[in-house]
Structure 1
Amino acid sequence: MEKKTRTLIFAYASCASLIFGLLGGLFLSVADWLMAFMWKLLPASLGLSNWIWWPLVICSLLGLVIGFLQEKIGPYPRTIQEVLGEVRKSGGVESWRWWKTCLNGLTVLAAGGSVGPEASLTGIIAGQCTWLGQHLKALLLDETKHRASLGEQVRTLFWQRASSAKPLASYFKSRARQRASYTIWTLLGILGFILWRKLVPQERVFGIHNRPVAWNWHVLLLLLPAFGVGLAFGWLFVKLGKWSSYALTDRGSKIWQGAAGGLLLGVAAMASPYFMFSGAFTIAKLAKSAAIMGPLLLLALGLGKAALTNVGFFLGWRGGTIFPAIFCSLAVGGAFALLFPWTQNLVAAVITSTAVTVIVGRPLLVALLLVFLFSIRLAPAIVFFCLLAGWVLRKFPQVKP
């Protein structure tokens, strides 16, 4: 293959990666705009901003819409595990399904579902990467195009698909070039995402904190019990998902299941707005008001949101569960920490780190997220207990949920 063709392919993939990152940011912005419209602008324009029944009415009505979409379109967005499983099995996903993920995902998010956008984003990005790989292979497989004009090569990239199932990785001259190219394209995608979020700024979820930590030797006595509480809550969260799947999957009409999920969410939201949405933008508020809420209310909130997230998921209110898991774990961790006067942020961090590691199963990823949430000064403890939880799950598989 000529150097000109290789350069064109690399440039095309680089530009596409940047655009994909921008589209990921656009998806989140659209979700934010829809949520703001549904829960702030619309009730304000109708003079119903303080109407207590608004969550019940809107969630129930949109629950019917969600159920209808699940019935007609299918179970979208799919979980991160489902998407990655298909990628490992077949080398990609069906890229044309992106609109199903967008439509269903945006509807659930706009309706206030207790899920996050990460599942939708994973499905969209996987579809985009599959689409890109198909078009690159279309040019790589057609040797007649290698010496064609630039315009003809670009048309091939945009309109043709490869009939071969041969993975794109096999076309690189070396594994080092493959890794370098994939790294560059990934970084460009991240850059595109960051650029969009800078151009259209939204409320920040995480930021690097340097909060002081009042170290106290008494807290050492609580670390092992806190670790046990984290393991127990993580186990319960995952089990709630499995129990909900067994009890609700293929049980009756999808439309009425969606309506039931909306009814449950609406009733819960009337009790506390914390039950709505993923919890990503209310984590800081929860941490600040934990002492006022007290341990019993925090525990009820953590357990209730965990149940609502998992039950709602299998009633058609699908989405990501990473941020709800962090929120619920923090609520439970805060409840336990308030029972003792020593270094409460460390106790809450240990419980949250352990529980989320059990739920998500990625110790280093969880540690990275939670260091930003708590404090950089707690990083050693957070990393240690995330890795310890991962080790326990590997060493003692019988304790896995």
Structure 2
Amino acid sequence: MKSHLTHLIHCLLLGAIVGTSAALFLSGINGSIHVVWHVIPDVIDMPYHGMWIGLLGGLGIGLVQKHIGDYPKTMHETVAAFKNEGRVPYRGALWKNAGAAWIVLTCGASLGPEAALISILGGMVTWIGDRLRMTEPQRQTFLQTGYAAMLSTIFHAPFVSVSEAIEEEPSQETLSKWDTFQKIVYYGICTLIALLCFRSIMHLFPHTPVFSIKIPPIAWNVGVIWYIVPAVVVGVIFGLLFLLMEHWTDKVAYIVKHPVRLALMAGLAIGLASLISPYLLFSGEHEILEFSKEASSWSVGALFLLAIGKGLLTHLCFSCGWKGGKIFPLIFSSTVLAFCLSSVSPFMPGLIITVVVTASCTVVLRQPLVTATLLLFLFPLQFFPIIVLLSLGIHQLMSRYGKYLPFAVVK
């Protein structure tokens, strides 16, 4: 009983630390973006300021890559370290991850903050775990709980942690049903506290709504059935194209190799993108609501070019050393493409958008339950059963036939 109470207290404290740290970091990033992209250009007459910001950011990232190391660490690197070693390195790594991520996110890269936050918060949780008096199994449970709360907080999706726990690769340790239930309860408590702290602090700072979308009112019509299959096909094709873009930009990076040149190349691309459309910049989590309000005024061709351009810039930045998360840009770009198809559908455009985004995200993320819980609060709750069934079906399809594609789709 005492051990359960102790672990419960640890979950409460851990959730508070995760939520507070994430909110402060993101609020700081939002503040620096406002200063760099709005305040300074208003004070200093700087023509093509986006170009200068991109190039200066490229120089900074290039010097970091050359003299400090490969920072910020990607989410896959951090998760792999956690699963293989049971911990996230933090000695000398916290400030490197934070500093490099600050440049990436402030200077307009089409990347999300999840990679930086996972590495920073993972290091913090490991540091705390090392200093608490715990047995090794207790410490591992503590770290796993913190990791789950981080995922849910970063993606604004409370049930991501539970989905991740269900879909994670089975370990050699066999847990009883009671132990599994306890694990999920601890995940839930820690996640709840983290989200409460996160949202409470974020409300103290002015910011645009994140990870929300405006879709037309729902009016169920059986005629939408004829558009479901095309929507699935469009979503799957875009997901595959998104992966293929990564393949292309990695080849470019392999040819150039020099870290400063690569980073400057991505910075130049960011500068050029700023001259075309602000929607090409940043992760898209803040911009998706505003875009969805005006998407109907865009032509189909412009929507298509924006979706492709966003995906290309995301992968180019990443391949050239501007490390960050690709999940939010993926959701934004697939949503943009979905508006192309929904604009020609006379029935339930909201459902068409949901199907396209679900299909593309399932192909790229490869975790159907995580995909479904990510999209749970983005789209109307009435569509959630469709999201789940579609995610599971497409995942099975890609698991069976993805190996025949000329680039890796499934692990």
- TM-score, reference length from structure 2: 0.81
Residue identity in the other structure for 1:39: W
Give percent identity, aligned residues only.
31
In the alignment, structure 1 residue 353 sits paired with structure 2 residue 358: yes
In the alignment, structure 1 residue 78 sits paired with structure 2 residue 81: no
CA distance in 1, matches of 2:395, 2:212: 25
Q: Is the 8 A contact 2:216 2:349 kept in 1?
A: no
Q: How does 1:47-62 map to 2 (within 5 A)?
A: 47-48=45-46, 51=47, 53-62=48-57
In the alignment, structure 1 residue 311 sits paired with structure 2 residue 311: no
CA distance in 2, matches of 1:264, 1:337: 30
CA distance in 2, matches of 1:344, 1:9: 47
Instruction: Work out the number of aligned pairs and report it.
Output: 365
1:368-394 deviations in whole A, cap 9, x for unaligned?
Answer: 333422323333333332222222223
Q: How does 1:275-294 map to 2 (within 5 A)?
A: 275-294=280-299
Task: Name the residue aligned to 2:36.
Answer: 38
Q: Which secondary structure state, in structure 2, belongs to the residue aligned with residue 280 of structure 1? A: coil
1:338-374 deviations in whole A, cap 9, x for unaligned?
Answer: 2333322221221111001111223233223334223
Output the aligned Cα RMSD: 2.7
Q: How big is the shift at 1:178?
A: 6.0
1:114-153 deviations in whole A, cap 9, x for unaligned?
Answer: 001011111112112211221225x659xxxxxxxxxxxx
Q: How does 1:226-237 map to 2 (within 5 A)?
A: 226-237=231-242
Task: Name the residue aligned to 1:26.
Answer: 24
Task: Name the residue aligned to 1:248.
Answer: 253
Task: Name the residue aligned to 1:258.
Answer: 263
Residue identity in the other structure for 2:108: G
CA distance in 2, matches of 1:200, 1:218: 45
Q: How big is the shift at 1:243?
A: 2.7
CA distance in 1, matches of 2:231, 2:350: 12
Q: Which secondary structure state, in structure 2, belongs to the residue aligned with residue 373 of structure 1? A: coil
Q: How big is the shift at 1:208?
A: 8.9
Residue identity in the other structure for 2:37: W
Check 1:324–1:14 CA distance in 2 against 1; reply closer, same or farther (3 A cut): same
Task: Name the residue aligned to 1:338.
Answer: 343
CA distance in 1, matches of 2:274, 2:382: 35
Which has the larger displacement, 22-31 or 283-292? 283-292
Q: Which secondary structure state, in structure 1, belongs to the residue aligned with residue 203 of structure 2? A: helix
1:73-112 deviations in whole A, cap 9, x for unaligned?
Answer: 2222222222111111111111221211111111111001
Q: How does 1:76-225 map to 2 (within 5 A)?
A: 76-96=71-91, 97-137=93-133, 175=179, 181=186, 183-207=188-212, 212-225=217-230
Check 1:211–1:297 CA distance in 2 against 1; reply closer, same or farther (3 A cut): closer
Q: How big is the shift at 1:264?
A: 0.9
Unaligned runs of 5+ in 1: 142-168
Task: Name the residue aligned to 2:384.
Answer: 379
1:257-304 deviations in whole A, cap 9, x for unaligned?
Answer: 111101011112201111111111111222222221111110011011
1:304-332 deviations in whole A, cap 9, x for unaligned?
Answer: 11011101111111101111001110111
CA distance in 1, matches of 2:396, 2:123: 33
Check 1:82–1:363 CA distance in 2 against 1; reply closer, same or farther (3 A cut): same
- TM-score, reference length from structure 1: 0.82
Residue identity in the other structure for 1:20: V
Task: Name the residue aligned to 2:373.
Answer: 368
Residue identity in the other structure for 1:379: F
CA distance in 2, matches of 1:181, 1:215: 39
Which has the larger displacement, 285-294 or 266-275? 285-294
CA distance in 1, matches of 2:213, 2:268: 38
Which has the larger displacement, 247-256 or 218-227? 247-256
CA distance in 2, matches of 1:184, 1:205: 23
Q: Which secondary structure state, in structure 1, belongs to the residue aligned with residue 377 of structure 2? A: helix
Q: How big is the shift at 1:57?
A: 1.6
CA distance in 1, matches of 2:54, 2:107: 6
Which has the larger displacement, 231-240 or 69-78? 69-78
Check 1:88–1:57 CA distance in 2 against 1; reply closer, same or farther (3 A cut): same
CA distance in 2, matches of 1:282, 1:179: 33
CA distance in 1, matches of 2:18, 2:275: 38
CA distance in 1, matches of 2:196, 2:319: 34
